[in-house]
Structure 1
């Protein structure tokens, strides 16, 4: 059994202010006895435009990430956080998830595969205009609380990548996110619970929640889901989201094993090949 913390806050374009919040959440998680803290997608900053984002990127690299690493080592806490990272193009960034060990070192990272391009009556977002898509799945990471598979936000809508990670041994899937309000209200919880049930694994979804700027608001609702699809802990959602908070949950790898034994999912790959 291992206690983990799932965090939520509303990042802005103030990188140092965001770092202060994340370090506060790390202190709260450690004080509660958690072994790991999961932080949202884009914890370093959410900008009002791609151009502004590029100007903030150096602060993420030189200030935000080292600050998180210091928090991890100070509290002997694993930290899993979404950040922006340099890409192969000077006009783009990478939407990246990093795993920081209890010694304060970034040991693994993952670049978001599926980019979020959407047009709504009240909002247009084209992540591909500012972000370089990832090109591979990071194999599950051996951690003190289980084998962890890394995904980010819009990846949640693609069960194929979750299945690939589970097939490689993942016992926990991370989905740090910044869901919009309309999509969050409609699909956030049901998708998270579906990935947990399908994969017979824990799902940990740290989330952005509340207003970031005049243009953008996130749904919130950070949560931890068990391999049986039960919501073990959650943060506020919708209009109530915004204040920094954590929810706590116990990860029991024995439950992962029991669910997989008691409800075996035998795939008819011979039939699939014909489709």
Structure 2
């Protein structure tokens, strides 16, 4: 099965981002991809919460998502929008991933579970939870010969999610992302390889890359990793592009046979303080 990671440099205008996505999806389809993953914040990469509130559209009747469904049907392929912000009743947003089938219908959605809330020395506190509400459910979906496991960006730092996805049957982990350049240089490859190795799964990571209209710079380097932890394809830059490679379900079976970590895992008591 051929799969594609779409690398983008999304801006503040959803219509312009959709227009940039269309030829990239056409390229992936022309090269035989049955599944294409786009980055986190594909449809809008906001500058701040006020800007996000002025542009983000409700999930029902979302114009860009309707158009993507049409593109999936036109190309006869699975199209996975890595994420886009969806307004919620409490005034915050869901960072939502949406999978379309080759018939153009929505197959599954996933709301990013883990939110980045941190106090960093020398910098202001960052509270993603002030803008977004975290999801509470892991999601898998059938994808031809594979089962797809959903995640988004910061989720990749939480192995327990991928362990749960693999134990539920996932054999291909999707990781749409918008990594900053410093964290990308330090952690991108090693974290994604670790998630592939520990679950014996393929990992596909579609990234934002370059300098964005909101003032941020992202790392790019979209890639695909096999179940043994080998990077089998990578866009070794931060420019928009399409990465297409072939994956084989037999490689998942073989990796999990050679290192049966999923079946060897045991429950254990957490450590406690002792007198």
The match for 1:256 among 252, 259, 262 is 252
Comparing 79-88 with 119-128, greater Cα deviation is found at: 119-128
Report what 2:12 is aligned to: 13
Structure 1 CA distance, aligned partners of 2:134 and 2:265?
A: 32
Report what 1:195 is aligned to: 195
Report what 1:269 is aligned to: 266
Report what 1:23 is aligned to: 22
Within-5 A mapping of 1:92-131:
92-118=92-118, 121=122, 125-131=126-132
Report what 1:151 is aligned to: 151
| Contact 2:58 2:87 survives alignment (8 Å) | no
Within-5 A mapping of 1:1-275:
2-58=1-57, 62-81=62-81, 82-89=83-90, 91-118=91-118, 121=122, 125-138=126-139, 140-237=140-237, 241=238, 243-265=239-261, 266-269=263-266, 272-273=268-269, 275=271
Structure 2 CA distance, aligned partners of 1:35 and 1:268?
A: 33
Structure 2 CA distance, aligned partners of 1:169 and 1:16?
A: 36
Question: Deviation of residue 137 (structure 1)?
Answer: 1.2
Structure 1 CA distance, aligned partners of 2:183 and 2:110?
A: 24
Question: Deviation of residue 273 (structure 1)?
Answer: 3.5
Comparing 18-27 with 153-162, greater Cα deviation is found at: 18-27
Structure 2 gap segments, 5+ residues each: none
SS of 1:131's equivalent? coil
Question: Deviation of residue 145 (structure 1)?
Answer: 4.2
SS of 2:65's equivalent? helix
C-alpha distance after superposition, 1:9-31 (max 9, x if no partner): 11000111100111111100000
CA RMSD of aligned residues (A): 1.8
SS of 1:221's equivalent? coil
| Contact 2:222 2:235 survives alignment (8 Å) | yes
Structure 1 CA distance, aligned partners of 2:116 and 2:14?
A: 23
Question: Deviation of residue 118 (structure 1)?
Answer: 4.0
Question: Deviation of residue 274 (structure 1)?
Answer: 6.0
Question: Deviation of residue 119 (structure 1)?
Answer: 5.2
Structure 2 CA distance, aligned partners of 1:123 and 1:222?
A: 29
| Contact 2:86 2:96 survives alignment (8 Å) | yes
Comparing 24-33 with 258-267, greater Cα deviation is found at: 258-267
Give the TM-score of the pair, scaled to structure 2: 0.92
SS of 1:37's equivalent? strand
Structure 1 gap segments, 5+ residues each: none
Question: Deviation of residue 122 (structure 1)?
Answer: 6.8
Structure 1 CA distance, aligned partners of 2:138 and 2:78?
A: 21
